[in-house]
Amino acid sequence: MEKEKDKRVLLGMSGGTDSSVAAILLQDAGYEVTGVTFRFYEKEGDTAYLDDARELCSRLHIPHIVYDVREVFRKHIITYFIDEYLKGRTPVPCTLCNNRLKWPLLKRLADEREIPFIASGHYVQKRFIGERWHIVQGADPDKDQSFFLWGLPQDIIARMVLPLGNLTKTRVREIASERGFLKVASKRDSLGVCFCPGDYRTYLRRHTQAGAIVPGPIFDERRNYMGTHEGYPFYTIGQRRGLGVYRNKALFVKEIIPEENAVILADDLRALEHTAFYLSHWHLPAPEVVLGSQAELIVKIRYRKQANRCSVVLTPDNRLQVRLHEPLASIACGQAAAFYRGDIVLGGGIIDRVGE
């Protein structure tokens, strides 16, 4: 971690292992830490995470703030999540939360308190390259969270301190137990979307109005009727299980047509392949490095390891056209795409059209 003169930092504390160890490491590095826990969402009113964060701060003798953003979270993240499925798209709530809510809030609260730095327990690093700050992959390939942070502006990245960026999760757990924080060391990893950790279909059923999701036809690519689905929002592009239609070969969701409440299946994954897609809401820290670049540029459309070579051009309507060097299957509108060169994040955007 860098040595700075004014070493006050505002740390986002979820009450989990990562942000707790981040607090310990920041203190070790001489930072004067203030912890803030955002109340984003509470499953059945469970506020144990607040007690855990408070308890840890008290053990470390650091001030702790609780900031209630449940209404904003519901309005901007949960509503967006449901609406995207109802539009036949695949939402990216964690990307949106990090880029539009969590980090901007940390910055705002730090500004209000004149605290120069903001920190988290994310497994990412940052690097200053060619006059700009960039997010860089975390050292632990299984925990790297850089895919979610492509949208952060310079004034946020510049102030970020990321104590877990060069550590593995195993090492983070060891640090917690070596320092006597046994409860912290043994906490389970959080899985998936915080407000919808299980099957999103059950969640959609519970949180949409009656009549919003109704059965409709499943067609093959030639529009032959194949069966009935339970509601198009329950399907995602590329899905091959739980389709409700059985043939003696694999079937894949190729298209979702909300206006017709129809789902189109293909029996060959190659029918889902494309060599281009378009991004809106894009953000590039150094546009000249990505646009028209001849050097190796990688685009990822999923969190897990992936490496698709591409070139990118700006369209007259201010979208990014991503041209893939090899065809890629199962690209869905609504998903995020992030650009990389090596371990460096070069920005990203939201897929809003698939095809050439």
Ligand X SMILES: Nc1ncnc2c1ncn2[C@@H]1O[C@H](COP(=O)(O)OP(=O)(O)OP(=O)(O)O)[C@@H](O)[C@H]1O
List interacting residues with ligand X (CB under 6 A).
12-14, 16-19, 36-38, 40, 102, 120-122, 190
Residue nearer to ligand X on the CB measure, 147 or 235: 147
Residue nearer to ligand X on the CB measure, 90 or 120: 120
Q: Least separation, in Å, of the C-beta of 146 and ligand X?
A: 12
DSSP characters for 112-158?
A: HTT--EEE---SEEEEEETTEEEEEE-S-TTT--GGG-TT--HHHHT
Which residues are CB-neighbours of 295 under 8 A, at least 6 positions away?
A: 341
Q: Determine whether the annotation assigns residue 121 to a binding site.
A: yes
User: Which residues are the active-site residues?
Assistant: 97, 194
Residue nearer to ligand X on the CB measure, 93 or 121: 121
Which residues are CB-neighbours of 319 under 8 A, at least 6 positions away?
A: 278, 279, 280, 282, 352, 353
Q: Determine whether the annotation assigns residue 226 to a binding site.
A: no
Residue nearest to ligand X (CB): 16
Q: Determine whether the annotation assigns residue 58 to a binding site.
A: no
Q: Least separation, in Å, of the C-beta of 94 and ligand X?
A: 7
- Measured CA angle at 35 (ends 32, 40), to 5 deg: 160
Residue 71's SS3 state is helix
Q: Determine whether the annotation assigns residue 275 to a binding site.
A: no
CA 13/CA 23 separation, integer angstroms: 8
Among residues 115, 154, 116, 160, the alpha carbon closest in space to that of 138 is found at 160
Q: Least separation, in Å, of the C-beta of 12 and ligand X?
A: 3
Q: Determine whether the annotation assigns residue 146 to a binding site.
A: no
Residue nearer to ligand X on the CB measure, 39 or 323: 39
Q: Least separation, in Å, of the C-beta of 83 and ligand X?
A: 22
CB 156 within 8 Å of CB 149: no
Residues annotated in the binding site, as ranges? 12-19, 38, 121
Residues annotated in the binding site for ATP, as ranges? 12-19, 38, 121
